[in-house]
Structure 1
Amino acid sequence: MSDPASLIFKDNRPADAVGVHAVVIGVGHYAHLPGGNSHRFADHEGMVQLSSPPRSAEHIAKWLLDTYHDDQSMPLRSMHMLVSKKGAAQKFHHKHCPESEIASATLGNIKKAARDWFRRSDENAQNLLLFYFCGHGISAGMQHTLLSTDFGEDTLAPFENAVNFTDFHLGMGRCKAQSQVYFVDACRSISKNLIEQSASFGDSLIPGVTPIVQKTAPVFLSAQPGEKAMGLPREPSAFAQALPLAFKGGAWDKVDGEWVVCTSMLRRALERQTRRVMRAFPNFNFEVGGYADATITIKRPEGEPVVPVDLGGRPDTDHNLLELAYEPDGTNAQVIKEVNNDEVWLIDLTEGDYEFSAKFQNAAGQQKVVTLRKFVSPQNVSERLRLS
């Protein structure tokens, strides 16, 4: 790809035609942090190389192409992709775009991609902007800074090669397209360096700062203030895996009789799906961070939503759980699963009325069955269903 900022997709519609413009960034290799290929930045605060961001960026880019390429009302118009990983440059291939060699996520390339994204998006006020970043992030109070692959190159001014996300988000308020959604899959660990070097929190990418955060530019963060994000070694992060799953149904809402994926439902759906991805870690707890939340329609899907339901038992002390079951109302088609006492059955159901049941057995071999009838929809299924 000749474009150093990796414009991996651009359609042939007129510049002012409405659509989706996206930026996807995954920074796994940091040249100046431990394990990098250059001098070590002494004040690295425990930050190391990451294997998940390149895979997360690829996962999100493919999902965006699959989701929006053929959308009739809001088609994908352009997408930039930047990835830094150790070794050979990342290559990307999808049926909707030719194989491309992806440019590294240096600050210079991030800035070029962001400004090209701004200019394309600025052509039509009805455009939808989507931004995804996965990599190291650090915080100090309300300040949030994202680290490019060349962070720490100059030890006297390490944050010259970083993105001042707080100001970048504000600066994007200058864009005519005010429907903007940001997904930041990065740590928000408190940084002593950032506090002490307050002269620079990073590059704002878009010059000028609007006086207030736009109400239609919500940010979804994979970590709470002071917390680390949950990366998964050599596979997409839990947050990256949860995002497409949330779009399948959990984030749907009915507006004027039509299903839409909207930001007001997305936060809860992301939390739910992230916990599902991380179910192998029983002590894992997750809450989506964010600010400037708003109700924005980010997709008008077809068909019926697929609702995630986590079905489990809460047996009495002298009863063991034997099986769980569900039956769509009026179908006489019960689906049964044998389970262990502490097992949770993860099922995906279309909207409708269901009868859920659980079979228990006590020490004397006596069995009982308990049932629960529930209308399943994205709006009313937010917690695990337990039968006792």
Structure 2
Amino acid sequence: MTVVIDDSSGSPGTHALIIGVSAYDYLLGNSKGRFSKQGSASGFGQLTAAARSAARFATWLMNDYRRKGFPLRSLRVLLSPATEDEVSENLKDMLEKDSIPTRDNVATAFREFKKAAARNPNNIAIVYVAGHGVQFTNTGAVLLLSDFAHPDHEEERYRGAVDMRAMHESMTYTNGARSQFWFVDICRQRAPDAQDFEELAGVLKFNKDIYGAAACSPLFLSASTGEQAFAKPGELTLFCEALMLALVEGHAASSDGERSSPWLVSTSGLQMYLRKTVDLLADNGDEKQLIECTGIFNDEVFHECENAPKVDLTIQIKDGMIGGHYSAKLSHLDRVLYDDHTTWPLCARVPAGLYKIEVTTLTTKEKDSDNLKLAPPSRLKELPL
């Protein structure tokens, strides 16, 4: 029903579940003109970035995800786009007819995903969800599904919702995939009707075992408790934008710097990069958004870059120094990129790695050299050394 890829193999591999909800059937502005008392009272409306972000991440998984020995063996995708352009034609063609993230479809997808991830104890499991979100406790993270606020759910008001924190724990504490990575891209403000009820029923959650635990299972929450997660209308969420920079551009990758060392995106690299970049993107829009990371953290590799990421390098002369007094030679892997360079600043986009810079002070003919370890996304170096 929701399967885009599934080779049913028992060999080690990666299994993923992607959910993106932009169009809501019973919230304000729905395309079918439906009315729901709860939907109207909630104040929630339609979104334009959630399904787009989920689709973007799913496409990256299909085309560019790399983990040696762990190919993508299954991919389940549920999307409810609000506009036609939210999902690429290639992915749209691969989606089966009933791939809408309703309560029933999501419950089925999670069960099948959990089974697939447990086929081999060395498997990797990846989850990405985006849409409206609420919380009932300070640690909560509940994703609202496309049939949230259905009139028939009045006695189980949150039947059209899934508790992502509980789902994470149900898979973390079980005999399933050894390594798991969870990305929950939702707001985490208090549910609007929580003050009117002692308990609100219906939220989807699975059993949690009392034994066993994954070796690595970080949960990246796009917003801290009680706070909002933002998006650029008609574009990606800020969290997904940062995540794509981390992975596609390799901005969260690191290497030990040796000649043939791979550039790897790890859990620690993701945590540091996402925290810094989401905060910066939000600040650029005069908003505040801090991600929260929890779960079981080990410094596990999430993605292996095919090539060294690009670095925006700037070499400039320190204030007060005369630029015409300096000449530089820049080399990488025995290849000279710039020789006797005297025009400042030098701005170049170069592969990350270990470089050597040799500087000559022209007035005295003195020479000096240094090693530059260039890591994405940018590096500023001032002369003299």
Name the TM-score, length of structure 1 as normaliser.
0.75
Check the 8 A contact 1:43/1:193 in 2, yes or no.
no
Select between 328-337 and 184-193 the one with higher mean Cα deviation: 328-337
Cα 1:164–1:311, aligned 2, differ >3 Å: closer, same or farther? farther
Q: Which SS does the other structure have where 2:141 is aligned? A: strand
Residue 74 of structure 1 corresponds to 70
1-structure distance, mates of 2:223, 2:379? 22
Partner of residue 354 from structure 2, selected from 336, 339, 352: 352
> 1: CA distance between counterparts of 2:275 and 2:61?
20
CA displacement, residues 241-299 of structure 1 (integer Å, 9 cap, x when unaligned):
322321243333448965432111111222455467x3993645543312023322223
One-letter code of the match for 2:48?
S
> Aligned to 2:158, what secondary structure does the other structure show?
helix
Find the aligned partners of 2:24 and 2:217 in 1 and give their Cα distance: 29
- Cα pair 2:140 2:188 within 8 Å, conserved: no
Per the TM alignment, residue 347 of structure 1 is displaced from its structure 2 partner at its CA by 5.7
Matches of residues 92-111 of structure 1 in structure 2 within 5 Å?
Answer: 93-94=89-90, 98=94, 100-101=96-97, 103-111=99-107
Task: Return closer, same or farther for 1:137/1:99 CA change in 2, 3 Å cut-off.
Answer: closer
- Match 1:49 to one of 35, 38, 46: 46
One-letter code of the match for 1:218?
P
Aligned to 1:225: 225
Change (3 A) 1:227 1:95: closer
Moved more, 223-232 or 120-129: 223-232
Is the counterpart of residue 157 in structure 1 residue 160 in structure 2?
no
Say whether the 8 Å CA contact 2:311–2:378 is kept in structure 1: no
Q: Tell me how far 1:114 sits from its aligned partner.
A: 0.8
CA contact (8 A) 2:317 2:345 kept: no
Instruction: Report the Cα distance in structure 1 between the residues aligned to 2:103 and 2:141, rounded to whole angstroms.
Output: 16
Note the C-alpha offset of 1:373.
7.2
Q: How do 1:351-370 residues align onto structure 2 when only pairs under 5 Å count?
A: 351-353=353-355
SS where residue 73 of structure 1 aligns? Answer: coil
Q: Is the 8 A contact 1:51 1:233 kept in 2?
A: yes
Given candidates 274, 277, 299, the residue that maps to 1:270 is 274
| Residue segments in structure 2 that go unaligned for 5+ positions in a row | 321-327, 360-368
In the alignment, structure 1 residue 23 sits paired with structure 2 residue 20: no
Contact 1:169 1:213 in 2 (8 A): no
Count of aligned residue pairs for this structure pair: 354
Match of 1:128 among 124, 129, 134: 124
1:375 matched residue in structure 2: 372
Q: CA deviation at 1:25?
A: 0.9
Please say if residues 92 and 99 of structure 1, whose CA atoms lie closer than 8 Å, have aligned partners that are also in contact.
no
SS at match of 2:154: coil
Write the distance in 2 (CA, Å) between the matches of 1:200 and 1:212.
30
Q: Partner amino acid for 1:28?
A: S
Match of 1:199 in 2: 199
Per the TM alignment, residue 374 of structure 1 is displaced from its structure 2 partner at its CA by 7.2
Give the equivalent residue in structure 2 for 1:33.
Answer: 27
Counterpart CA distance in 2 for 1:175 and 1:308 is 41
CA spacing shift, 1:109–1:89, aligned 2, 3 Å: farther
Q: CA RMSD in A?
A: 4.2
Is the CA contact (8 Å cut-off) linking 1:215 and 1:294 kept in structure 2?
A: yes
SS at match of 1:8: strand
Q: 1:231 to 1:142 in 2, by over 3 A?
A: same
> Structure 1's 280 and 144: CA in aligned 2 closer, same or farther, altered over 3 A?
closer
The farther-off stretch of 223-232 and 126-135 is 223-232
Task: Report if aligned partners of 2:117, 2:176 keep a CA contact under 8 Å in 1.
Answer: yes
| Corresponding residue number in structure 2 for 1:65 | 62
CA distance in 2, matches of 1:64, 1:286: 26
Q: 2:39 touches 2:149 (CA, 8 Å); kept in 1?
A: no
Q: Is the 8 A contact 1:91 1:102 kept in 2?
A: no
User: Would you say the 8 A contact 1:221–1:289 is kept in 2?
Assistant: yes
Q: Which deviates more from structure 2 when the two are superposed, residues 252-261 or residues 38-47?
A: 252-261
Aligned to 1:169: 168
The 3-state SS of whatever aligns with 1:249 is: coil
Deviations 1:346-366 (A, max 9, x none): 9674122376x9xxxxxxxxx
Match of 1:366 in 2: none
Give how far 1:160 is off: 1.5
8 Å CA contact retained: 2:22, 2:49: yes
What is the match of residue 289 of structure 1? 292
Contact 1:171 1:209 survives alignment (8 Å) = yes
